[in-house]
Chains A and B, each alone.
Chain A
Amino acid sequence: MSKQINVALIGNPNTGKTSVFNQLTGLNQKVGNYPGITVEKKEGICKLPRGVKAHILDLPGTYSLNTTSLDESVAVELLLNKNAKDHPDVAIVISDVENLKRNLFLFTQIKDLKIPTILVINMADRMSRKGITLDIDLLEKKLDTKIALVSTRKKVGIDRLKELIADYKNLSVAPNVDTTVIAPEYFKSLRETFPNEDLYKLWLVITQDVNFMPLEKNLVKDSSSFNTKSKSELKRLQQKETIKRYQFINSILKETYKVDINAAKGLKATLDKILTHKIFGYLIFFVILLTIFQAIYDWSSIPMDFIDETFASASEWVKTTLPPGMLTNLIAEGILSGIGGIVIFIPQIAFLFLFISLLEESGYMSRVVFLMDRVMRPFGLSGKSVVPLISGTACAIPAVMATRTIENWKERLITILVTPFTTCSARLPVYLIIIALVIPEGRFFGLGYQALTLMLLYLIGFGAAIISAMVLNKVLTIKTRTFFVMEMPNYKLPLIKNVTYTVWEKTKSFVLGAGKIILAISIILWFLGSNGFTDKYVNAESIVENRIEKEGLSSYNQESIAYNLSIYQESLNDSIAKNVYHLAPEQLIDSTNQLKQTLLDKAKNQEIASYKLENSYIGNMGKAIEPLVKPLGYDWKIGIALITSFAAREVFVSTLATIYSVGSDEEDTIKNRMAAEVNADTKKPLFNLASGISLLLFYAFAMQCMSTLAIVKRETNSWRWPLAQLVFMSLFAYIVALVAYQILK
């Protein structure tokens, strides 16, 4: 057998558990899901002294083994089930030196399960500042365990911890507290009914709120030979157990833990006073939100422009370097434009998660919840819903998963259902490109119209979420007992390592998760757009050439050629007048004619390509839905982009990129190409204020993300809710976009 030890990290939230995990495993970690459920599973490998290796599992944070949420029950189930693959050989309880008393509650519970347990006291660097002194030796003796005093910030104590893990066989497995004294008779009958089971484990199985391990629970229910207790009786016993444990902990800490009260107060109280202030609190929160918008909209545009240009020139390079043909086109127009469409989001996603992880790490997010709880409650949302709703501005998928922290099922369901209304990063590229096309560049009190429009769209998304939450709160008739208990953690300077890991992890999951869909769809689209089955497609060139001979070029092309020529002539004449060139009149005409021929050829090729596209597979699909989208101000090309957006919204841009680059022989940037697009009926630019606003609103409301639907199905365990979302949101989007276009046009 291998010498790999199974280690489980467990601890209260906000104890720096993840920091310890990061220090132990470094980059040897992977994040996945527990099978069948969406609780995040973080595991990694750690090298220990004497050639031993440990498999480290970072369990979801919990205050105790009495679970109230699915997240917590994952931790408990693993500890109770000796047959589980990851059942730990040794458990490490991470505690925070300032909240040792509360942290030890969990420790004693795990110790009583007779699992070898090491206690990590983290944030040791704060001790002197907080006036805390600890007698580690005495504490080890009293708790009957080994203790590692750790500071992840100062990177102290990790080696000792590794030593202790490697040496886990020498740990005592004697329990700390005798639970049976709270109800001797009851435990005696339990003992008689299940002589082979561990009593404390049985007790935990019986008292769980979350119904996990159904088999074992049924076993307990089925045996009629002992008198079962009512729920309230059990609860009273749990209370007794809690008091008993705190008595034990208090008696120990009295001897080992000293704190100088005068040193303890200070920063936290001052910060709390400001950050939860009824005016400054909201003001600061608003400024932070504004900064985030600024970062996504403004700061990230620098790397994005760079990425945009790089991919455009790479595609151009491929076309000029490789021999022309199917494969070259596939690489230049299918694959490269698809990858470009993924990479371009990275700056925005990275920025957003940088901020979110800073807010979480610093402890500020809890203050936001505290400020917002009363505000959110009338809408049927919990203060905790703020976190998913804010995270939803990055991506609805992690946001829907983040609702797990909400204990109340109704509040959680409502949050899940309305979160897709918030403006996720996949909408952003659609918004950005359309705003750039149809909203003028002027400024209003120093703020750009374009930035204001974006801000407005975020507010609309948030408003839609809030209003539908209010409606759902009235409509849904789920009765659940509501309770809200939230820890207000200490403020901490975020650890760069943790923030970096979060940003890296989220970006990676976007590129690998959503990226795959985007790339696949880019290639499929390229194929559908450059192949067709009708005679019209096959004979496109001769048909268009005939038409041009008979009717001339399209009026837009004629005008654009005439305009280009006049500008060219003007500048030439200008140069001649200034004596820059000396040209004979014949030369002037020659050079003008040459340009004219080039422009005519280009226009001809464009018209052939566009005719081909119109008659390709994809053109046929787009035309089929054109009657449906025409009242919204869209043509069949936008129709195609709407269809493909159902896989993921961001595909809209790469779809248009593919569609237009198919129809163009030079790599204009997508935006310029869209600006040149003409409405076939009105002969005016297709993307004008009316159709642009209509598109923006459609994307603001429509449910166009298969991945979100899938995650909602998993989180609600039913197809009912995702289907309701799909139908309701899409219908609503259609109506709003229709009204907007008809009014504005």
Chain B
Amino acid sequence: MGTSIAQLKRGQKGIIKEFADDLLPIKLLELGCLPGNEVELVQVAPLKDPLYINVNGSHIAIRRSMAQMIEIDLIEDIPSV
């Protein structure tokens, strides 16, 4: 397994690679969560779940279990926070 959205830190970004297509709802894709798009972890809910991401300009919340299925390439400029 490579890196997934679930492993991002707050404010960190990545580029979506492939994902296990059968398990992900089409709705996620329609909201812009497609391979090649940039994804940023905006906020993590208090109990570490769900995750609030910004993908392709869409601000959406997904559960950690779903985030783990979306593989990404990290963008390596970690903001100095």
Q: A236-B21, A484-B62, A485-B62 are in contact. Are A374 and B49 (CB under 8 A)?
A: yes
* Residue in B28, B31, B43 whose CB lies within 8 Å of A276: B43
Return the chain A residue nearest B24 by Cβ. Answer: A483
Within 8 A of B (CB), among A479-504: 483-490
How far, in whole Å, are A64 and B26 apart by their CA atoms in the complex?
10
State whether B26 touches A66 (Cβ < 8 A). yes
How far, in whole Å, are A729 and B74 apart by their CA atoms in the complex?
52
State whether A374 touches B43 (Cβ < 8 A). no
The 9 A-B residue pairs whose C-beta atoms are closest, nearest first, are A278-B46, A374-B47, A488-B59, A374-B49, A64-B30, A242-B29, A486-B61, A483-B25, A370-B61
How far, in whole Å, are A375 and B49 apart by their CA atoms in the complex?
9
Q: A64-B30, A483-B66, A485-B25 are in contact. Are A101 and B50 (CB under 8 A)?
A: no
State whether B31 touches A66 (Cβ < 8 A). no
What string of 1s and 0s marks CB contacts (under 8 Å) between A256-274 and chain B?
A: 0000000000001100110
The yes or no answer to A68 lying at the interface (CB within 8 A) is: yes
What string of 1s and 0s marks CB contacts (under 8 Å) between B31-70 and chain A?
A: 1101100000011011111101000111111110010000
Chain B interfacial positions (CB closer than 8 Å to A): 21-22, 24-32, 34-35, 42-43, 45-50, 52, 56-63, 66
What string of 1s and 0s marks CB contacts (under 8 Å) between A94-108 and chain B?
A: 000011011001000
* Residue in B48, B50, B58 whose CB lies within 8 Å of A102: B58
**B49 CB to closest chain A CB, in angstroms?**
5
Set of chain A residues within 8 Å of B26, measured between Cβ atoms: 64, 66, 68, 235, 238-239, 242
State whether A242 touches B34 (Cβ < 8 A). yes
State whether B52 touches A370 (Cβ < 8 A). yes
A sample of 18 cross-chain residue pairs with beta-carbon separation below 8 angstroms, ordered by A number, consists of A64-B26, A68-B26, A102-B57, A238-B26, A243-B35, A268-B59, A269-B42, A282-B46, A369-B61, A370-B45, A373-B45, A373-B61, A375-B47, A383-B50, A483-B24, A483-B25, A486-B60, A490-B59
Set of chain B residues within 8 Å of A369, measured between Cβ atoms: 61
Set of chain A residues within 8 Å of B47, measured between Cβ atoms: 374-375
**B6 CB to closest chain A CB, in angstroms?**
14
Set of chain A residues within 8 Å of B45, measured between Cβ atoms: 276, 370-371, 373-374
State whether A101 touches B60 (Cβ < 8 A). no
Q: A63-B27, A485-B27 are in contact. Are A101 and B61 (CB under 8 A)?
A: no
Set of chain A residues within 8 Å of B62, measured between Cβ atoms: 484-486
Set of chain B residues within 8 Å of A489, measured between Cβ atoms: 59
Set of chain A residues within 8 Å of B56, measured between Cβ atoms: 101-102
Q: A101-B32, A102-B58, A243-B34 are in contact. Are A68 and B25 (CB under 8 A)?
A: yes
The yes or no answer to A477 lying at the interface (CB within 8 A) is: no
* Residue in B43, B50, B58 whose CB lies within 8 Å of A272: B43
State whether A273 touches B43 (Cβ < 8 A). yes
State whether B46 touches A373 (Cβ < 8 A). no
State whether A485 touches B60 (Cβ < 8 A). yes
How far, in whole Å, are A601 and B37 apart by their CA atoms in the complex?
87
State whether B32 touches A102 (Cβ < 8 A). yes
How far, in whole Å, are A64 and B34 apart by their CA atoms in the complex?
15
Return the chain A residue nearest B25 by Cβ. Answer: A483
**A182 CB to closest chain B CB, in angstroms?**
13
**B76 CB to closest chain A CB, in angstroms?**
20
B interface majority secondary structure: loop
How far, in whole Å, are A391 and B58 apart by their CA atoms in the complex?
27
Return the chain B residue nearest A281 by Cβ. Answer: B46
Set of chain A residues within 8 Å of B32, measured between Cβ atoms: 101-102, 246
Set of chain B residues within 8 Å of A488, measured between Cβ atoms: 52, 59-61
State whether A239 touches B29 (Cβ < 8 A). yes
Set of chain B residues within 8 Å of A268, measured between Cβ atoms: 59
The number of inter-chain residue pairs (CB within 8 angstroms) is 112
Return the chain A residue nearest B19 by Cβ. Answer: A239
State whether A246 touches B34 (Cβ < 8 A). yes
**A718 CB to closest chain B CB, in angstroms?**
27
Within 8 A of B (CB), among A80-125: 98-99, 101-102, 105
Interface residues on A, range: 35 or more
How far, in whole Å, are A281 and B52 apart by their CA atoms in the complex?
14
Set of chain A residues within 8 Å of B35, measured between Cβ atoms: 243
How far, in whole Å, are A485 and B25 apart by their CA atoms in the complex?
9
**A100 CB to closest chain B CB, in angstroms?**
9
The yes or no answer to A232 lying at the interface (CB within 8 A) is: yes
How far, in whole Å, are A531 and B45 apart by their CA atoms in the complex?
62
Set of chain B residues within 8 Å of A269, measured between Cβ atoms: 42
State whether A487 touches B59 (Cβ < 8 A). yes
**A656 CB to closest chain B CB, in angstroms?**
45
How far, in whole Å, are A276 and B30 apart by their CA atoms in the complex?
25
* Residue in A235, A239, A246, A373 whose CB lies within 8 Å of B50: A373
How far, in whole Å, are A43 and B79 apart by their CA atoms in the complex?
49
**A35 CB to closest chain B CB, in angstroms?**
27
Return the chain A residue nearest B66 by Cβ. Answer: A483
**B45 CB to closest chain A CB, in angstroms?**
6
Set of chain A residues within 8 Å of B24, measured between Cβ atoms: 483
Set of chain B residues within 8 Å of A101, measured between Cβ atoms: 32, 56-57
How far, in whole Å, are A269 and B62 apart by their CA atoms in the complex?
18
**A286 CB to closest chain B CB, in angstroms?**
13
How far, in whole Å, are A62 and B52 apart by their CA atoms in the complex?
20
**A73 CB to closest chain B CB, in angstroms?**
14
What string of 1s and 0s marks CB contacts (under 8 Å) between A366-396 and chain B?
A: 1001110111000000010000000000000
State whether A374 touches B30 (Cβ < 8 A). no
How far, in whole Å, are A243 and B36 apart by their CA atoms in the complex?
10
State whether A373 touches B49 (Cβ < 8 A). yes
State whether B30 touches A235 (Cβ < 8 A). no
**B70 CB to closest chain A CB, in angstroms?**
12
How far, in whole Å, are A242 and B16 apart by their CA atoms in the complex?
15
Return the chain A residue nearest B46 by Cβ. Answer: A278
State whether A487 touches B58 (Cβ < 8 A). yes
State whether A102 touches B46 (Cβ < 8 A). no
Set of chain B residues within 8 Å of A66, measured between Cβ atoms: 26-27, 30
Q: A99-B57, A370-B52 are in contact. Are A242 and B46 (CB under 8 A)?
A: no
Set of chain B residues within 8 Å of A374, measured between Cβ atoms: 45-50
Set of chain B residues within 8 Å of A487, measured between Cβ atoms: 31, 58-61
State whether A276 touches B52 (Cβ < 8 A). yes
**A11 CB to closest chain B CB, in angstroms?**
14
State whether A105 touches B27 (Cβ < 8 A). no
Set of chain A residues within 8 Å of B59, measured between Cβ atoms: 268, 487-490
State whether B27 touches A68 (Cβ < 8 A). yes
**A133 CB to closest chain B CB, in angstroms?**
16
How far, in whole Å, are A549 and B61 apart by their CA atoms in the complex?
78
Set of chain B residues within 8 Å of A370, measured between Cβ atoms: 43, 45, 50, 52, 61
How far, in whole Å, are A281 and B28 apart by their CA atoms in the complex?
26
How far, in whole Å, are A101 and B45 apart by their CA atoms in the complex?
27
Return the chain B residue nearest A279 by Cβ. Answer: B46
State whether B34 touches A485 (Cβ < 8 A). no
State whether A272 touches B30 (Cβ < 8 A). no
State whether B52 touches A272 (Cβ < 8 A). yes
